[in-house]
Chains A and B, each alone.
Chain A
């Protein structure tokens, strides 16, 4: 069965420090990969997506993620965070045999402190 695991539920980080949010998935079929961000009292907003091609994907707000097929991972990074990056981040995976199902991880709450 397919699943999505975000390895950290809470990540506190100081302003201007780097951050990495880890996401692993289990699947024997090809996947599409997404990271979404949820700011307080808002819906989810797409940060970036991997569909094919280069394994390093750049998204909005300075975020990037790297797809590693052998390790079935899709970790999200930002080299220098801002206070405004405080939010919950969700990794999501779409499995090619089930076009309409987007499976989400449990989420990682990032808290940026001055």
Chain B
């Protein structure tokens, strides 16, 4: 089954404790992206990757890091999490490059930073 898999689905942690949210897709998609969803703000892009070893900042990259060492994986790293990063996070992927490609989303990761 074609899917985007995120782990963990839920995480409660404390300020300053490094964490990684993994994202993996099995569709051989070139493009991957991370979003955060906050009430009343919709989804905002954090980082995206057009292919292996190619990443770029989205609208809200501060406090986050990503890497793309393999085509299928695109982990999101919070080096020193803070309470304002409490949010619902989504990973997405799409085939090829271009504005006309719909994105496939994971089921989300709910992070609570205390």
Contact = CB atoms under 8 A, between A and B. Distances in A.
Interface residues of B, number: 28
Contacts, number: 64
25 contacts: A31-B99, A32-B99, A32-B100, A34-B102, A36-B105, A41-B108, A42-B107, A43-B107, A44-B105, A46-B103, A90-B43, A94-B99, A94-B100, A95-B99, A99-B97, A100-B97, A100-B99, A101-B58, A101-B59, A102-B45, A102-B103, A104-B43, A105-B42, A106-B40, A107-B42
Which 10 A-B residue pairings sit nearest by Cβ, starting from the closest? A43-B105, A94-B99, A104-B42, A44-B105, A104-B43, A106-B42, A43-B107, A46-B102, A99-B99, A51-B100
A96 interface: yes
B36 to A, nearest CB: 11
Given A98-B99, A100-B99, A106-B41, 16 more contacts: A6-B42, A41-B107, A43-B4, A43-B105, A43-B106, A44-B90, A51-B100, A90-B42, A94-B100, A95-B99, A100-B50, A100-B56, A101-B59, A102-B45, A105-B42, A106-B42
B78 to A, nearest CB: 20
Contacts of B40: 9, 106
Contacts of B102: 34, 46, 49
B64 to A, nearest CB: 16
Interface of A: 4, 6, 9, 31-32, 34, 36, 41-46, 49, 51, 90, 92, 94-96, 98-102, 104-107
Contacts of B33: 100, 102
Contacts of B99: 31-32, 94-96, 98-100
Contacts of B31: 100
A59 to B, nearest CB: 11
Contacts of B108: 41-43
A89 B103 CA distance: 15
